[in-house]
Amino acid sequence: MRRLLSALLALGILAGCGCVAAWAWSYRWLRAGRSYIDRGIISAAQQSLFRFVRWHPAHPEANYLLGLSFGVRSDWSSALHHFQQVPDDCPEGVDSRWREGDVLIKLNRAADAESSLKHALELDPNCLEALRGLIHLYRWQDRQTDAAPLVWKAYEITEQEQRPMLMAEWFRFRFAQYNSAQTFGRLREFLATQPDDLDTAVALGRWSLRERQLGWARTMLEQAFQQQPGRTEARTLLAECWLDIGNGTEAEKLLVEWPETQRDVRYWRLAGRWQQEFAQEFESAIKSFQKSLASEPDDWQVRFRLADCLRMQNQSTAALREASEAERIRDITRYDNVREILDKTLQRLARIENRHAIGEFYRSIGYSREARVWFELALELDHEYEPSRRALEELKEHD
């Protein structure tokens, strides 16, 4: 009996040792998978990594590498599954969160993508990939106000040689004309995948306003605003919709109840329009339009409205000046002119004169910050380039 017990004990010890040896031996599959990923041999990488995760199903690096491998194959659902297995507090945590966000955009889960990308920034405020991911998402949703601070944050931490490409993306965001059917279709896909995505619902409302589908826009925007009345963009577009419909009473309610801490350029533009069209309080409208133009000096439509109000107040000289400026900006920003920059100038950013030309475009419509950046980018190619040096000095004089 004792001999039998001893034999069984010995076998147990040997089996245990064998398991430990196999567990340790399994790490060779992780090393192999890592090597195959680096060399782009995806099938071999997945075979090795799957062997490894049989022993270590929750291993962060293995799941991260599997996420990368499925991403290469455009298997977004599988990539997402493995990225989500990676905890925040491991070396691959931040990288997994922004990649998760990128994959979620591809899966048309825009709201979830925004949450993942913002979470990556909570873990690392200098995560450039998360910033650029949010900027890309906001382009689809036309959220320029939300994107602007992210662009400037990204500019600060972007390597010097990559900055022209970042600022070129920002130019396209603001001035390119995107295919309305394509954008409208993508937004519908976002909303179909996540029906409670209020930002996408608001974006659809915005596109409906542009297409003059006022009834449908009102329905979308009212629903979004009722669910989250603190959402400034929903309030903005709903007020604009009521103004377009001709219902000044409903627009006034939204303007009166607009929180003072959230009264930015969007508020002043709409307040001025209501004061001009419905209240005929031209003096108040002048002040509102001037505040709006302080933030968006290229809004030539607001400038024409300002000119009309000045004329109603018998300020003919000022009215003529503003109308002339509005015409000048309208001509500069005509899409034929902008398309020249989009199709040619932005494609040849290694040329110093092209960087300077973009700076001059921005300066001509009143955007000193962007102009200054492009002049500085020109000087990076040649510190003695006189047109950009002179332009920067002139901007300093007007600061």
Say which residue the tokens 């018998």 belong to.
314
> pLDDT value at position 23?
52
352-364 helix and 335-343 helix, angle to the nearest 10 degrees: 150
The residue that leads in pLDDT, 274 or 17, is 274
CB contact at 8 A, 300 and 332? no
Which helix (H) or strand (E) element contains residue 180?
helix 180-193
Extract the runs of DSSP E, i.e. beta strands, from 188-292: none
Q: Where are the domains of the chain?
A: 28-175, 177-259, 263-333, 348-398
Residues whose CB is less than 8 angstroms from the CB of residue 371 and which lie 6 or more positions away in sequence, other chains included: 359, 360, 362, 363, 391, 395
| Residue 40 phi, psi dihedral angles, 5° rounding | 75, 20
pLDDT for 11 beyond 90:
no
Pick the CATH number of 177-259 from 1.10.3210.50, 1.25.40.10, 3.90.550.10, 3.40.50.720: 1.25.40.10
Cα–Cα separations (whole angstroms), residue 365 to 143, 155, 329, 359, 379: 21, 21, 6, 10, 21
Say which residue the tokens 């000048």 belong to.
328
> pLDDT value at position 242?
97
pLDDT for 4 beyond 60:
no
Whole-number Å distance between alpha carbons of 110 and 173: 18
> pLDDT value at position 230?
87
| Residue 247 phi, psi dihedral angles, 5° rounding | -100, 85
Say which residue the tokens 């300093």 belong to.
396
Q: What digits encode the pLDDT tens for the residues 24-81?
A: 567 898 898 889 889 999 999 899 999 998 989 889 999 999 999 999 999 999 999 9
Q: Do domains 177-259 and 263-333 have the same CATH topology?
A: yes
Q: What digits encode the pLDDT tens for the residues 232-255?
A: 999 999 999 999 999 999 999 999
In the predicted model, what is the mean pLDDT of residues 137-145?
Answer: 93
Name the fold adopted by 263-333.
Answer: 1.25.40
Sign of CA dihedral 200, 203, 204, 205: positive
The residue that leads in pLDDT, 15 or 39, is 39
Cα–Cα separations (whole angstroms), residue 387 to 370, 382, 390, 394: 16, 11, 5, 11
> pLDDT value at position 12?
46
Instruction: Transcribe 263-328 into DSSP letters.
Output: -SHHHHHHHHHHIIIII--HHHHHHHHHHHHHH-TT-HHHHHHHHHHHHHTT-HHHHHHHHHHHHH
Whole-number Å distance between alpha carbons of 392 and 114: 37
In the predicted model, what is the mean pLDDT of residues 227-231?
Answer: 89
Pick the CATH number of 28-175 from 1.10.357.10, 3.40.50.300, 1.25.40.10, 2.60.40.740: 1.25.40.10
177 band by pLDDT with thresholds 50, 70 and 90: confident
